[in-house]
Amino acid sequence: MNKNKLVLLTTFMLLVSLALLGGCSAVDKDDKSITVEETNSVDVVAKEFSMDSFVEMVDGKPRPQFSEKTITVKKGDLVRIKVNVTSGSHNFNIDEFDVHAKTPTASETTVEFVAAEAGEFVYYCSMPGHRANGHWGTLIVVE
């Protein structure tokens, strides 16, 4: 009786080990496809905007500005702004979201952040005199 039990137990253990070994390699393969699926599902869709950053002569004075004066998003949105500098030397800042980007002339710079707080915020260029002369806009984050 005892011997039979031992044989059964040994056989059982062997089968379990084989199943585990077989299972492990199958799990490994599955892991790869699961990772890909997770990457896809985690891909948050960003709210995307694009604007020009430039200098325009108004009444004989240079007026630096952004082509978009207002951007509205929802709280929690991943926001992506493409800033295309077509003339002058500028940068792009939103202090509250710790956005401080260099935006080289004649190129497009992509800025990304999560609008974690609701409210009205200013995006602006910090080059001397630019913000005071109009190089800013309003980011509205609604609840």
Whole-number minimum distance, CB 57 to Cu ion, in Å?
14
Q: Which two tokens stand for residue 28?
A: 């490994």
Which residue lies nearer to Cu ion by CB, 73 or 125? 125
Closest approach of Cu ion to the CB of residue 40, in Å: 38
> For Cu ion, which is the closer residue by CB, 118 or 127?
127
- Rounded Cα distance, 50 and 18, in Å: 58
**Which residues does residue 73 pair with via DSSP β-bridges, in sequence order?**
141
- In angstroms, give the least distance from the CB of 42 to Cu ion: 35
Q: Which is nearer to Cu ion, 78 or 84 (CB)?
A: 84
90-94 β-sheet, strand order: 70-74, 136-142, 119-124, 90-94, 99-103
- Nearest-CB residue for Cu ion: 125
In one-letter notation, the amino acid at residue 52 is: D
Would you tell me which residues interact with Cu ion (CB under 5 A)?
Answer: 64, 90, 125, 127, 130, 135
